[in-house]
Each structure stands twice: as C-alpha cells, then as structure tokens.
Structure 1
Amino acid sequence: MLKGEIVQTIEGEDTPQERLLIHLEGDFAADGQFGKRFLEVTATDVRVREADGVVSFHIPIAEIKSARNEPLVGGGQLEITTRDGEVVPIITYSLTLASRFSEAARGIEQLARGEPLQINLEQKRLRCAKCGRLLPEVDGICPACIHRGRTLRRVASYLRPYRLQAVGLALLGVLTTTLNLVPPKLQALIIDHVFSTHRNYTFLLEMAGIWLGVVVAATFVQILNGRLIAYLAGHIAADLRAAVYRAVEFLQVSYFDKKQVGAIVSRITQDTDRIWGFLVDGMPFLIANALMLLGIACVLLWINWRLTLAILAPMPIVVILSAVFWKPISQMFFRVGQKWARFHTHLNESISGIRIVKAFTRENTEFAKFQACNRELRDAGIQADTRWYTVFGAMTFFIASGGLINWVYGGWMVYRGQMSLGNFVMVNSLLGLVYGPLMWFGDLNQWFTRAMAGAERIFEVIDAEPEPHARGGIRHAIVGEVAFCDVRFGYDKSNPVLKGLTFTAKPGEMIGLVGKSGAGKSTTINLICRFYEPDAGVIRIDGIDYREIALEDLRRQIGIVPQEPFLFHGTIAENISYGRPDARFEEIVEAAKAANAHQFILAKPDGYDTVIGERGTKLSGGERQRIAIARAILHDPRILILDEATSSVDVETEKQIQEALQRLVKGRTTFAIAHRLSTLRNADRLIVLEKGEIVETGTHAELMERQGVFYNLVQTQSQVTQIIEIGTV
C-alpha cells in the first residue's frame, strides 16, 4: 500500500497516466550543494525537476530495466539502469532521506515490471508530532506529552480481575477517614465540656473510652488496609510484568534489531518495580489523604467557613506551581529512566561478555564505560531531584502559611467570642492532619511522575506491533516445497540485501547456500523462518503463500541448527526436548544417539540430568552443537536449516557432526550454509549468491566444472587452508 506519498495531477493534464504517483524532494542540487530537486514518477515516465521548475532529466518507464540506490559519503544516489545496460545517476540526497528514496527505487522497478505500486514512503519519527520536540528514541514516545491521567487509568485497568478487593479497599479508605476525623472532635468536646466550663471528670473518662475504641478500630482497619494494598499491588505488578514479557516474546524480530537487550530488561524489571512502589506506597497515600482532605474540608467549612477560606487561600498558588513545573520535571524523570536503560544495557553486555573482556584485558576500559554511564545516570538524577526539591520547598512555604493564618485569624475570632476554644483546637488538630499529607505531596508527585514515565515505557512495548500470530491462517501439514518468487528484502529499506531472489527447493531436496559474507545467505534463512517478511515478492510453501499459513504451525515444522547453538540453563535432557517438552525419555535418548551425543552425555557425572549452565557453558563447542542437532532431530521438522553447523570444531568432532547431519537431513527439505565448501558435496543443488542475487546454480561437480564464481570461492578457500597449514608446521 502506498503511504505518505504526494499524489497530484500535473497542471494542464487530467489523464490518469500523468498523475504523480511518487513525488519526493531531494536536498542536494545538481552542483552537489544543498538545494531542492524533485523526483517525479508517473505511470509512464520518471523525471527530475529543478527548483525553478525546469525538467533536467526524463526517461520513459518502458526504457527502465531496474533502479537502485548507491550509497555515498553522507548520502546516496538514485540510479536508473536502462534496458540497453546504461547506468544513469539521476538524483542525490542526504542520509535522512535514504529510506524514502530506496522505496522510490523499489516503486520504479515495480512500475517497470508492470506491477501495482506498493511502497511505503513514511519516514521514521524523529520529532513529536504534537509538540515538535526531538524524541528520545526513533519512533518513541514524547516524555513532554505523556498524559498522566490516561496512563493512570490504563494501569488501573489491571484492577479488573480484583474488583472485589478494590471495592473493599475503597470502603476501608472511607472508614479510615471517618475514624481519623473523630479524635479532633473528641478534643473539642473535652476542652469545651471538661476544662472550660463544667469540669466533668466522668465525661472525660467517657470520651477517653470512645477515643480508645476509635484507636483500636483504626489500627485494625489500617492492618486490613495494608494487607489488601500488598495483595493488589503485588498482583498488578506481576500482571504488568507478565504482560510486558508476553509482549516481548511475541514481538517481531525487527524490534530487537532496534532495541538493546538491557533497555528491554530495564522495562520489565525497573519500570514495573517503580509502578509496584507507587501502588504500594503512593496510591494508598493518595487515596487515603484525598478522602481525608475532602472530609477535613467539609468539617472545617461546617465549623467556620470564613476561617476555612482564609486557611485555604494559599492553595491556588500550590496548584499553579504544580501545573507549571509538572512537564519540565516529568521530562527530567523520563530522561532518568532512559539513563537507567542505558546503564542496564552496558551492565548486561559487559557481564555477558566477561570472558572476552578478560581475554583482551579490557577491564579498565569497560570500567571507564561503566563510569560514564554511571555519571550520566547520577547527573540526570541530581538534576531532576534538585529541580523538584526547589519547587517542593516553595510549595511547602505556602502550605505551612495556613497554620499561621489559623493562629492569627482564628485566635482573633476566639478572642472576639466568634468561635469556641474547643473548635479552635479542633481546627488546629485537623490542620495537623492536613499538613502531613501536603508536606509529603512532593514525594508522592515524584513517585507518581516516575511511575507514569515507567508505565509509558512499558505500554510502548505492549503496544508494539507483534508478529502476525493473531492473524490466524490456514493449518497446513508441510510437504517441503519452498519457492522464492522475485523476493526482495532489506533490514534497512535504503540498503536491500536480497534483490529479486527466485528459486524452488523440491520436497526432500538439500540446497546449499553459498557466497561471500554479506551475500544474503543468512537473510534467506531468516525469511524462510519468517523472522522477517519480504518487502516484495512471495515465498510459497507447497504452493501456498507462507503468510497465509498459521505462523505457529509454520515454525513448528521448521527446525534450525544454528552456527552458535543457544542452550538454556537446565539439564541436557531438558535442552534436547525443548521443542517437544512432552517427549518420552526413550525418544530423547534415541535423538541423542542419532546426533552422536549419547556417549559423551553418559560420560557426564549426571548423564542426561547434567546441568549445563547458562548458554551451555559447561559443554564444549562440539558438544553444544550435537545437543542442538539432537534437539532438531527430536523436533522432527519438515524443513531443516543448517547454518554453519560444523564451523569452529576439530576434524574428529566435525566427522561425528557430519554423520549426525546425514541422518538428520533424510526425507527433509534442507537448506545448508557451510563454512567449508567441501562439506556441501552431498547437496542436491548449490545456489551461489552475490550481492543479494543468484549468480550460479547447480551441483558441486557442475559448478566446479563451470569454473565460475563457486569455483573461485573453492580455490580461494583451498589457498587459505594451505597457508594456514604451512603456518602451523
């Protein structure tokens, strides 16, 4: 679908053929200086129009064979290849426009092939559409435009499964407020009826008994209230963590290409912990004291409305201060959250790679990086807290002035006989109940700000576009035919990796993917697994567009033996049965035997129950590889992917792995990438890739006889091997 394009009719023309399908503004003039030029594409031609309206380049669509983007220093250049083979550069642009011009090139090729135009000219968001500020992350959220109320309502929506407890908490809040308002009234009664006039000691004892009963009841309610808060906060935080983790598990792989692991972990741990802290400490405080303030205000107005209005006179100033400084302070706390994410990222990376750090004696360098992240976090935190406590100090002054007003104006009213001494003391006691919450309002607002910023980052993950599991799809038992039909793809749209890949793998056929680094071998594998989807073209499984097959069903029938097998912390048996957790122990053993892993497993202290450590650190590279093969065998896929499955192992281990692989590939459609090209001799067909295009296809013997690209790769590898062997003599 074409998005973000400017479609208009050229002046003086009203035929559909002359409608502008693509209209892009370049930022380099013809002389290489900054300036404006326009790329215009219609259904019949491509042209470049200068800023003064003059058309400086024009070519009919019918004469175009292909279009591509050539990277330059600081920018790029759109080039057209004519059907005569001539390459013509037509317009240059800066890197900020690279993705849009890459889409334009793809659109030109679609039109040249007579296909419908399906491109996306939308750029990544660098600024907030609402306020225009630079975003902290590309396509991220703007901290200045966070809607606290909407975010709080969304957090509160997680209360739905606990409605009964929430209602109970609200009732307890009302009861707590009522009980807290009783002692000041008792004080007033004691002063007016015991100390000032009647001096009735019996009445004093009666009031003391009532007061004791209120204290006992308030204590019981407080305990019950705390237990309910702990229950609700714990469950809501756990539900949020579960929601974020589940969202992360189902996110597209492309999301993880743009986000660092430490930043994601920070959202699951630290941001949810901030929300938990606010729910445990902040929310109960907010609810209880909001009810308290409302109750006290009603009582004060009932006692003496003139004095109440005088005491509350400074409150509008406090509200104005909060409103004015909320956004800049919230941005600062949002920035603190970002620094925490960066801190977590470095910490995660340096600890995960501790062996490499030690091997290259880079401890001091990594510590310097840590210190830099630590300083950034420190400075951001100090800046945010300093600004907040400055504002909080001003707010405290205006809040405290209410007490002074009570003594001056209220004392004058007692002196004039307009209010009893008991009521004056009662007002003073009630103000004591008000000042505590208001003085702590600063901390509450700080908790709230941090919690809402964390919640926004959490919801950003939850709202990210997931993989298309939810689209459903047909259930299909895969036979094994895999067809690429003019497949084009690039991780960065301005730099396509695959450029029109077309081939068909028959059921049970073994296909070897060959080429230099960056040729597109691993990308082809990623597309087969549907970790990514083609930008153009179609991948068919058994003649069906694989996007129509239920994603879970598709991946369940694809097995992978990666170059660097990832094993989970747990036992050997648990790792082998990862794809089939319900497998019987006998099946696990049979898979291990087929992978030539049974013998070394039995040699371990606990056999199949041996715990292999994080990422399988207690196993050798060859052992990890054979466990991965056993896992694939037990999984029993119809399509098998071998990504450098014998790289970086000794000759004896490679022999054992090759034997295991020969048993594994039988009856399955197999795609193999091999470090040693000689290991692909048994492949039914080799596909040689170069710069994302197929340059040769055939058996090992056919390609060697042809003496083309594959032959040169084999010869180069053979020469390198000889050099290595000479160096080791």
Structure 2
Amino acid sequence: MARNTFAVDEELEQEFNWQHYRRLGQYIKPYKHSIYRVLVVILLANIASMLGPYFTKVAIDQVIPQKNMTLLLWISVIFLASLLVIAWCLKYRILKMTEIGQDMLKDMRFDIFRHLQTLPFSYFDNRPHGKILIRVVNYINTLSDLLSNGLINLISDLMSVIVTLAFMAWIDPVLTLYSLGLLPILFAIVMVIKQKQRQAYQVLSNKQSNLNAYIHESIAGIKITQSFARERENYQVFSEVNEEYRGSWMSAVKIQFLLWPVVQNISVLTTCLIYYVGIRQLGVSVSTGTLIAFIGYVNNFWNPVINIGNFYNSLITATAYLERIFETMDEIPAIQDAPNAKELPMIKGDVRFSQVTFGYEPDKPILKNVSFHIPPGQSIALVGPTGAGKTTVINLLSRFYDVQRGQVLIDGIDVREVTLRSLRSQMGVMLQDTFIFSGTILENIRYGKLDATEEEIIAAAKIVQAHEFIQELKDGYHTVVEERGSTLSAGQRQLLSFARALLANPKLLILDEATSSIDTKTEEQLQVGLQQLLKGRTSFIIAHRLSTIKNSDQIFYVDEGKIAEAGTHEELMALRGRYHHLYQSQYDLIRAN
C-alpha cells in the first residue's frame, strides 16, 4: 500500500540550538516576579531541611551523652517547626508554579495559533491538518511538566545541592571530597545517553504526528470510508501506523529510563564509600554523630542530583517537541503587511488589473499580462475551462497571493500597499465549500457582523430565501448545528453563507461557485435575493451554471491565462465565439435531460 502524506515522517527543517531555550525563556519573563517569590520560599525550605541532620549530630554527640532533656526537647520542637515550614513551602511552590507553568503554556499556545492565522493557504494544503493540530495541542502539552515544575525544581535542586555541600564542607571537608568522587562517572554516562535519547524522541514525535494525522483524516473522511466499505483496509493502515508509534515509544522510554538507575546506583555506591571511610576514621577524626549527620547530608545531596537527572530527561524529551513548535512559529508568511502598509480607506469598489502575470509555480504562469477595469457597483462573471485562471483572479484580488508582475488596484491603490485586515474586512467571499461553524444558526449568520441584532439577521435571511427552512428547524434561528454544518444540506449551508455575506454588507463581493449546491427551484427563488445582494457592490462571480451569470454587467471568458472574450451576455452570444459555444452546449444538455 502506498505511503500517504500522513505516514511520511516530517524532515526537521531547522535543527535545535540553544537559542531555542532562550526563546523559551521569553515566556518566563512576564512571571519573573512571581518566580522570585517562589525562589525565596525554596531557599527557606532548603535551609530548614538542613537543620535535621545537624540537630541529629548535636543530639548524638552532645545532648544525649550529657542527658540534657531540656535541650533535647527544644531541639525536637525546632526540628518539628522546620518540618512544618518545609511542608508549607512545598505546598506554596507546587500551587504557584503549576499556575505559572499553565499560564506560560497558554501564552505559547496563543502565539502559535495566532501565527497559524497568518500563514498562506499553501502551508495548510501541503500538510495533513492532524500534523498541524498536534503541534498546537499535544506538543505544547508535553512541555507542561517542564514549565510547571521542571525549571523551578531545577533551581530548587541546584540550591539544595549548594547548601548541602556547604554544610558538608563545614562538618567534614575530607568526607565531602569522597562524596564527590563518583560524579565524573555520572557525567560521562549522561553524555553517552543524551544524543541517543534526543534522536529517539525525534523519531517518536514523527510517529505521534503520523498517528494523529491519520486519525484526523479518517474522522473527516468517515462518510467516504463507509460508502466504499473500506473499513477493513483502514484498520490495517491504522494498525501499521499505531504499531510504528508503539515501537518508537518503547525505544524512547528504554533510553530515557537508563539514567535513573545509573544515578541511583552511583548514589548507593557513594553512601557505601562514606560508610567505609567514616567507619575507618570513627573515633579518630570522625564522631558517630558526624558520620550519621553526614550520611543524612549525602542523601540530601544525591536526592536533588537524581531530580536534576530527571529534569535532564524531561529537557531532552521536550527538545524534540520544541524543535517542531519553534519550526512552526518560524514559518514565514508568504503574504504579510508591508513595513509601511497603510489602512485602506472605505472603498467605492473600483477594481483594476494592470498587466498582471502570476503563476503558483514561477516558471508556469496561470495569468499572462492580464488587464481590465471594473467601475464601482458592476458585477463581473468569470467563466471558462477548469484551470484557466478564474479563481486565480479572485485570489490575487483578495491578496491570498501576490502578483509576480503588474498591479492589482482597488480605488487606485495597490493592494500590496495596504494592511491585509483593512483590505479583507471590506470584502465578502463565498466559496463552493461553505464552512459552517459549530453553534446556532443565529451565530453563524452573525459571523459576518458581530454587532448585528436578531432583527437584522432575520431580514438578511429572508432576502436570500433562507428564512423559510430556518423556521422549519427544531429551534428556528437558535437551532444548534454541528461542526461544518453536517446536519444541514449543502444547499442550506450555502443559503446561510449568502445571509452571512449580505449581513456583512461588503463593498466587494466574491462568489466562487456559491450556488453550485442549490437546486434549480431554490436558485430561481434566490435570484431576487441575489440581485439584492449584488446591488451597489462590485461583484466577481465564478459559476458553471450560466443561468446564474446571465444578468452580470460583464462576462469575462478566461482561457489560457488571458481574457479571451469580454462583454454582456447578449454581446457574447452575438459574437458566436467561445462563450456562445459554452452556453449552447449547456443549454443543449439541459434540453436533452
């Protein structure tokens, strides 16, 4: 079976570097004051945790031999108080850092989502949507532990190591050196594991992305799957993709879990070494209380070292996901505001193409030196064979792409010189594949004008002949529709799209096969509303149904990258050229049926 796009591992276009961690640090900056307070609490907890072994030493070496019960009681009370302080500090740290970490994740998720809104259609056309979705949700979620607790725990553990070493050196410098004797072995092993672990998690992120993409594609295409009885084949593909993910997961965690037993074993060996050296020196340079206290400090030393090892594991794991996250954020939008872009004033609707040449591939032009002028308020129909460049005209007008040569002007202003928002907010675009959002009918129509009243919405629906079918729904305008409007027919979705466009009241209107899913009877009813929709607006209409475009002010027959014929319906029919042949063929087909 051929490998579909979802099953192809994505190549990492930008290798990870330490600048990524600096960028990650930018998400910490807004919360630095809160983090400083947490650090003070952590330092307090570390100092309080050092009191236990020291009091044990004092009690064994001095208080118990002297049978000083009063001092022993006071030591016990202070020790209990230190435990309460540690417990409070731990609670504060966990709650506060969880809150800060989730806020940072929210900021990062917002940034990547906002950036995705600026990327061109080609970015989404060339990638399975599941692979994009996983970066916004799953990959950022994997950073939760790192940002919520990992970074602050690292600082806490480093503080603990420093404070513990200071107490150890104060009590016995020689035993302190023995405690550090096995650290070089640990560092050597870590360096060996590091690269293998990062590579394993890069593979895992690819397989996770593939699995997510296939699930997304399967859900989106479930009607086609069941229509062609392809469930068994889909099970097989899913099984293969799922097994690849499982295998990569097992490989990654096997390498990840190597570090913990290494650190644990070195910790145990260090403790044994301290016992061996301490017992040999017992009564000479080391007291019983000192040895017991020192073993307590060794545990205090190695526990944070183990935690640092776990953090290192999390860091290497997160690195594989950070690479993908920042790769998406670094995707440069092909179309963006010029540095000196200005706001487009309220437009009249004068449109001019001046010697425009454009191709989706630089060496394969779709439009070739096209020029035309549309006065305000006129409706223009674009007809012609598939691939001739009709949709390309409106893509350039909406500035979804930029011309390679020439100019696209609205009211005499080049569309490249104005902000995208000020341009597109004055345009209404209706496509063949009408998108309906999950929510009520009312909310979907109001999408075109967020401050519209219910009366304005109903008036727009009546004009485009949508009011009647809406009234027949269970809750009328307050009926909840599912994602993509799956509970509505294609024609009903297009009528809602007409109402949405009419409500937005754009000065420039683009209809790209917008009536293709409407039956002939409904289209006849819609013609009155459509004329109302087109009235006073400069409109571009692409339609294969020639009955939809007969009343247009001008009709452009686009072919081979040029406007081959232009004129009214009557003029083009009289010309008896390409348009006449197209119209006559469709008329004969209708009459034959």
Give the alignment's TM-score, normalised by structure 2.
Answer: 0.93
| Matching of residue 256 in structure 1 with residue 124 in structure 2 | yes
Cα pair distance change 1:677/1:623, threshold 3 Å: same
Partner of 1:443: 310
Q: For the Cα contact (< 8 Å) 1:646–1:658, is it kept in 2? A: no
- What are the superposed Cα offsets for residues 95-120 of structure 1, whole Å, 9 maximum, x if unpaired? xxxxxxxxxxxxxxxxxxxxxxxxxx
Question: Is the CA contact 1:629–1:660 (under 8 Å) kept in the aligned structure 2?
Answer: no
Alpha carbons 1:251, 1:465 under 8 Å: kept: yes
Q: CA deviation at 1:394?
A: 4.0
Q: Which moved more, 1:657-666 or 1:420-429?
A: 657-666
- Structure 2 CA distance for aligned equivalents of residues 160 and 261 of structure 1: 32
* Deviation >6 Å, runs of 4+: none
Q: Distance in 2 between matches of 1:631 and 1:186?
A: 76
- Give the structure 2 partner of residue 64 of structure 1: none
Q: Which moved more, 1:636-645 or 1:584-593?
A: 584-593
The 1:581/1:470 distance shift into structure 2, 3 A limit, reads farther
**Is the 2:494–2:517 contact (alpha carbons within 8 Å) kept by the matching residues of 1?**
no
Partner of 2:482 in structure 1? Answer: 613
Q: Distance in 1 between matches of 2:419 and 2:12?
A: 29
Alpha-carbon displacement from aligned partner over 1:190-219 (angstroms, at most 9, x marks no partner): 111244x32433332222111111111111
Residue among 76, 81, 96 paired with 1:208 = 76
Instruction: Report the alpha carbon displacement of residue 234 of structure 1 after superposing the two structures with TM.
Output: 1.8
Map 1:593-604 to 2 at 5 A: 593-604=462-473
Q: Are 1:533 and 2:390 matched, yes or no? A: no
Aligned position for 2:516: 647
Q: Larger relative CO (CA 8 A, sep 6+): 1 or 2?
A: 2
- Contact persistence 2:131–2:210 (CA under 8 A): yes
Per-residue deviation, residues 162-203 of structure 1 (Å, max 9, x unmatched) = 2331111111111111111111111111111244x3243333
Contact 2:359 2:365 in 1 (8 A): yes
Distance 1:561 1:229 in 2: 47
Secondary structure of the 1:504 match is strand
- Select the residue among 196, 200, 204 that pairs with 1:332: 200
| Distance of 2:363 and 2:279 partners within structure 1 | 77
Name the counterpart of 1:696: 565
Do the aligned partners of 1:644 and 1:672 also contact (CA within 8 Å) in 2? yes
Structure 2 match to 1:348: 216
How do 1:473-622 and structure 2 match up within 5 A?
473-622=342-491
Q: CA deviation at 1:715?
A: 4.3
Cα pair 1:595 1:657 within 8 Å, conserved: yes
CA deviation map 1:400-459 (0-9, x unaligned) = 3212221122222225x1111111111111122233333344432222222233233223
Is the 8 Å Cα contact of residues 253 and 532 (structure 1) preserved in structure 2?
A: no
Counterpart in the other structure of 1:302: 170
Deviations 1:130-188 (A, max 9, x none): xxxxx97468222xx432xx333322322333233111111111111111111111111
Are residue 146 (structure 1) and residue 17 (structure 2) matched? yes
Offset at residue 658 of structure 1 (A): 2.7
Classify the secondary structure of the residue corresponding to 2:437.
Answer: coil
CA RMSD of aligned residues (A): 2.3
| Aligned residue number for residue 84 of structure 1 | none
User: In the alignment, is residue 420 of structure 1 matched against residue 293 of structure 2?
Assistant: no
Cα pair distance change 1:619/1:481, threshold 3 Å: same
CA contact (8 A) 1:591 1:634 kept: yes
Residue from 97, 104, 108 that aligns with 1:229: 97
Q: Secondary structure at the match of 1:492?
A: coil
Supply the distance in 2 between the matched residues of 1:442 and 1:379 (Cα, whole angstroms): 24
The question of whether the paired residues in 2 share the 8 Å contact of 1:512 and 1:680 is answered with yes
- Are 1:668 and 2:537 an aligned pair? yes
What residue number does 1:464 align with?
A: 331
With over 3 angstroms needed to count, the CA separation of the structure-2 counterparts of 1:364 and 1:578, relative to structure 1, is: same
Asked whether 1:323 is paired with 2:188, we answer: no
Tell me, in whole angstroms, the C-alpha distance in 2 between the residues paired with 1:360 and 1:169.
59
Number of paired residues?
584
Q: Which residue of 2 aligns with 1:74?
A: none
- The residue aligned with 2:3 is none
Provide the secondary structure at the position in 2 that maps to 1:182. Answer: helix
The AA in structure 1 aligned to 2:316 is: T
> Which structure has more strand as a fraction of its residues?
1
Quote how far apart the aligned CAs of 1:614 are. Answer: 1.1
User: In the alignment, which residue of structure 2 is the partner of 1:287?
Assistant: 155
Letter in 2 for 1:446: N
- Indicate how the Cα distance of structure 1 residues 668 and 139 shifts in structure 2: closer, same or farther if over 3 A, else same: farther
Assess if the C-alpha contact under 8 Å between 2:193 and 2:255 holds in 1. Answer: no
Cα deviations by residue, 1:41-69 (Å, 9 ceiling, x for unpaired): xxxxxxxxxxxxxxxxxxxxxxxxxxxxx
1:430 partner letter? Y
1:271 aligns with 2:167: no
Structure 2: segments with no counterpart, 5+ residues: 1-7
> Structure 1 residue 305: deviation in Å?
1.9
Counterpart in 2 of 1:631?
500
Aligned equivalents of 1:207 and 1:230: distance in 2?
34
Cα distance change of structure 1 residues 282 and 642 upon mapping to structure 2, 3 Å threshold: same
Structure 1 residue 155 and structure 2 residue 24: aligned?
yes
Q: What corresponds to 1:403 in structure 2? A: 271
Percent identical among aligned pairs is: 34
Match of 2:5 in 1: none
Per the TM alignment, residue 395 of structure 1 is displaced from its structure 2 partner at its CA by 4.6
1:433 alignment counterpart: 300
Tell me how far apart the structure 2 counterparts of residues 656 and 446 of structure 1 sit (CA, whole Å).
66
Contact 1:473 1:551 in 2 (8 A): no
Partner SS for 1:468: coil
Who is 1:15 aligned against? none
Higher helix share: 2
Q: Tell me, what secondary structure is at the counterpart of 2:381?
A: strand
- Asked if the contact 1:315–1:399 (Cα under 8 Å) also holds between the matched residues in 2, the reply is no
- 1:78: which partner in 2? none
Q: Secondary structure at the match of 1:547?
A: helix
In 2 relative to 1, CA 439–373 (structure 1 residues): closer, same or farther, beyond 3 Å? Answer: same
> Structure 1 residues 518, 567: CA separation in 2 closer, same or farther (over 3 Å shift)?
same
Q: Aligned equivalents of 1:657 and 1:328: distance in 2? A: 64
Q: What is the Cα deviation at residue 644 of structure 1?
A: 0.7
Aligned-residue offset at 1:716: 4.3
Deviation of 1:639 (Å):
0.9
Q: 2-side partners of 1:300 and 1:251: how far apart?
A: 57
Instruction: Name the CA shift for 1:216/1:610 in 2 (closer, same or farther; >3 Å).
Output: same
Deviations 1:254-276 (A, max 9, x none): 33233332122111111221122
Residue 545 (structure 1) shift: 0.7
C-alpha displacement of 1:365: 2.3
Per-residue deviation, 1:396: 4.1
Counterpart of 2:473 in 1: which secondary structure? coil
Q: Which moved more, 1:572-581 or 1:711-720?
A: 711-720
